[in-house]
Structure 1
Amino acid sequence: MKIVSPEQIKNFKSFMENHESFIIAGHKEPDGDCISSCIGLSYIADYFKKPYIMINAGPFKRSEIKKYSSMFTDTLPFMNKQERDSCGLIITDCSEIQRLGEIDGDLKGFDTFIIDHHKTADVQGDNTIIDPSSPAACLIVQQLVEAITGQLTKEQAETIFFGMATDTGYFRFLTEDSREVFLQTSRLVDAGANPRIIYQDMTGGKPWSTRKLLGIMLDRAERHAEGKLVVTYETMEDTRRYGSEGRDSDALYSLMLAVEGVEAVAFVRQDTEHTCTLGLRSKDSCDVSLIAAKFGGGGHKNASGASTEGRIETLLPLLIKEFMKVL
């Protein structure tokens, strides 16, 4: 990952100084990195003693982030023209307003600063800090908090460690070029973050229903591309029966990618009669972000997704066809 430059820090600090209030927003269906990045940015707003709201469309499906849901709203309060003109919008862990989901209120027209680490982010300018080599957006936020406010408190360190750990699979997704990640992580531990307790928060408390649903996903799993690709799916009836809370798709990906010869996993969930969510994971050289982009999504080389129109029975063959081109 890259070190945030003095110029980028200066630009962000100026953005904070030049607005009277802030909206801090992350992508819909948030994960730990999204939540931690938003909260990390709130520490900077607190430092400047400026009011802010944290916006997220939800839903907060993952059991490890449920406790943070009360800190966010999906409704933008009414603002007159003067209030809108003096309010800054900070988008983190994504780079497009449409990825924020269904927000009650108009987020267009605000002066906006974007902080992201996704490979598919396609924005630039002084009001952006985008580093696709960073394994988590909150690692970018950590550098901003440290540069602007000084040494992290124990609470701040725990928040950022949680986000970093979730997006790196508790370090499992890191490679030989991750020296700076570990240096930053050491500063979080120095500030009081407890790796063992945070791991328990990440992995514990899963509902029984998620394990039953996982069994169904495993039973449906099929191999393609000479065994290199595993595909499975979740129907609307599955969601009605087992619920959408606390789902544990990470366990599915981890189990399948651990199978000998498997290089990628594709998961399709039917959300409505006409729309689906795609989850794509891989290891080594298979770049699933390129496949996700063909379905209107994006993400990282080895972890991407999309929300797209279609049905399971039509999308699965299309996904398999795309994977066959690269596996």
Structure 2
Amino acid sequence: MNKLKEIASKVMDKDDFLLVGHKAPDGDCIGSMLGLYLGLKAMGKRVGMLLSEPVPPVYHYLSAAEQVKLPGEIQFIPKNLIFLDCSDEQRVGQEVFSLIQERNCSFNIDHHQSNGLFADFNYIDTSAAATAEIISELLLLMPINISAAMADALLAGIIMDTGCFLNANTTAKTLRIAAELLNFGASVNLARISLFESKSRKEVLILQHALQHLDFSSDGKIAWMSLPYHELVAIEAEDLYPEGLINHTRMIEGVEVGILFREMPAGKVKVGFRSRGQVDVAALAAQFGGGGHRQASGAQCEGKLEEVKSIIIQAVEDVI
């Protein structure tokens, strides 16, 4: 582990960077990437951004979102890499991972408790509510003026990873950093409208299908929703991953653990876990090769949807 000041110093010493984030990028991944990208560009650095999947449309309102490249689009790959919000380097996805094998120097900035400290320079703060919170602190250590565009990106990351500051990972420090971002020009109104009041019809249809497959354990402590792949294809939403979808399971009275099963092609199922706090779902996800946080985690399992559901639900019941 390095100190954040060390990370800042090493970054300032170098001139070209590639920022990479995890597959199925969420708000924290996108916000952290765009905030740091804009900050490094303001310092005159040469910077690129690479993701295995497109930036979700909900984040297109953020400055420089259109600059994020996919593996088939990137032409120049800098040898100084910054991994953002990745608990391990293969979280970037196989296509991206294969492109970044030759590297001069790598940085790993994250807040996941399962992070393996895989880079040359690592800064992992598990007390941070979001990686965007860490990037906000990092930019304050650099000789730049944080712009409204940077602040909007970082605020989006914090909002999404804290569930609008309502999740247990929200700390007094999180709120102070959010307040600083507002002072730098971030717009709460823009975030609210863009993140929560501009959902596409397909996103709402995904929710409709998920709720049609809502079920509960006999004691009511576990709730789960399922998304069969053929239903996603039918509404042309197989590539959409609405972040707040799983929260509809946890908001039900009496539920301790909420689960979302999303069937993928090639016999795979993505599993998301949410906990009210008593159950450590990061430990549950780890049983199936996944990880995350105590109250929010995920894994990917091999097998048919119904088989995976049966195994996962039994594992959760055993813990409860």
TM-score (normalizing by structure 2): 0.90
**How much identity, in percent, do the aligned residues show?**
26
1:270 paired residue among 245, 263, 269? 263
2:194 to 201, 204, 224: 201
Match of 1:134 in 2: 128
TM-score, L = length of structure 1? 0.88
The one of 31, 49, 73 equivalent to 2:69 is 73
Are the counterparts in 2 of residues 56 and 103 from structure 1 also a CA contact under 8 Å?
Answer: no
Shift of 1:171: 0.7
Give 3-state SS (helix, strand or coil) of 1:286's partner. Answer: coil
SS in 1 for 2:151: helix
The verdict on how the C-alpha distance between 1:253 and 1:269 changes in structure 2, with shifts beyond 3 A counting, is closer
For residue 32 of structure 1, report the CA deviation from its aligned partner. Answer: 1.2
The match for 1:325 is 318
SS at match of 2:142: helix
Matches within 5 A, 1:213-252: 213-224=206-217, 226-242=219-235, 243-244=237-238, 246-250=240-244, 252=245
User: Do 1:206 and 1:246's aligned partners in 2 also have CA atoms closer than 8 Å?
Assistant: no
Indicate conservation of the 8 Å contact 1:63/1:247, yes or no. no
Aligned CA-pair RMSD: 2.3
Match of 2:27 in 1: 32
Does residue 1:145 correspond to 2:139, yes or no? yes
- Are 1:53 and 2:45 matched, yes or no? no
State the shift of 1:262 in Å: 0.5
Number of residue pairs aligned between Structure 1 and Structure 2: 313
Could you give the per-residue CA deviations for residues 277-297 of structure 1, whole angstroms, max 9, x where no partner exists? 111111122111111112221
Shift of 1:151: 4.2
Higher mean displacement: 267-276 or 208-217? 208-217
Higher relative contact order (CA 8 A, sep 6+): 1
Alignment partners' CA distance in 2, 1:107 and 1:172: 37
Cα drift, residue 230 of structure 1: 0.8
Distance between the aligned counterparts of 2:311 and 2:274, measured in 1?
16
1:41 and 2:41 correspond: no
Residue 229 of structure 1 and its aligned partner are, at CA, apart by 0.4
Task: Indicate which of 38, 42, 58 corresponds to 1:64.
Answer: 58
Q: In structure 2, give the amino acid aligned to 1:196.
A: N
The runs of 5 or more residues in structure 2 that have no matched partner are none
Map Cα deviations across residues 60-82 of structure 1 (whole Å, 9 max, x no partner).
3x431245652211235356xxx
Query: Partners of 2:60 and 2:147 in 1: how far apart?
Result: 23
Match of 1:298 in 2: 291
- Find out whether 1:312 has 2:310 as its counterpart: no
Gaps of at least 5 residues in structure 1 are none
> What is the aligned partner in structure 1 of residue 14 from structure 2?
19
Tell whether the 8 Å contact from 2:49 to 2:69 is kept in structure 1 after alignment: yes
